[in-house]
Structure 1
């Protein structure tokens, strides 16, 4: 797995980089050599946020944690990634095309398997609007996300509310 470590508003020490690489190495048995992991550390006031994104063959695992201590946030984010990987074990096995007896680290078995179940299906018209109009509509409905057709591109997009209160925009990428 290729690991990239980025510091925003902070100069990262070598011992933190080594610790992050060592903790991520427990996932080497699960991901291929071509998997890409990005560790982003952001420091704002007295909060330190560690975000890890692992990409492999179209699958993306992402976790983010904020804490007073950078190492504590790293521990929490590694645990969260482990839980995600455990929950999605069968999908990962299909993507990797290996047998189901893949050797997952014992630390990943702390949660029982969950069955994915669609609780509700909702149909609605996708309206043409700007991202700003979509955000207003989302806020009026009290939702966390809103699907719309962008008036400039005609593509289906999604606006969503981020944990910090900002908004995000998901735009499809054509390859």
Structure 2
């Protein structure tokens, strides 16, 4: 079972499997809860006089009223999802060696630490990002024994 939480912030994903549906559901929700808690803790300012803007104040003008109407927001137009990760499923010939999915990823410059954080939240073994330091596409990936690797294009 896999649950993906998408929103204005980072994409958070958790997956688990078990013998019964309810055991898998309980396991995946606890994983998702811990990742969401980690996200919240990372945003919390732990030092000094800097205080973050309240969520209510920051999102006051972003609330889409159609989401609160019955049936509202269920059918999103493809143009409205720009800026978020979007998937394009394509039907190609069955068999190995064919591209079956194309994903468009936003090009937001970030540091290597931010990319590692995003990779951990999504739960993937790699993460493609625009490196703020070198201004080039880069990939961070998980290695054996909890180490990470970084690939930068020349």
TM-score by length of 2: 0.37
Q: Relative contact order (C-alpha < 8 Å, sep 6+): which is higher?
A: 2
Structure (1/2) with the larger strand percentage: 1
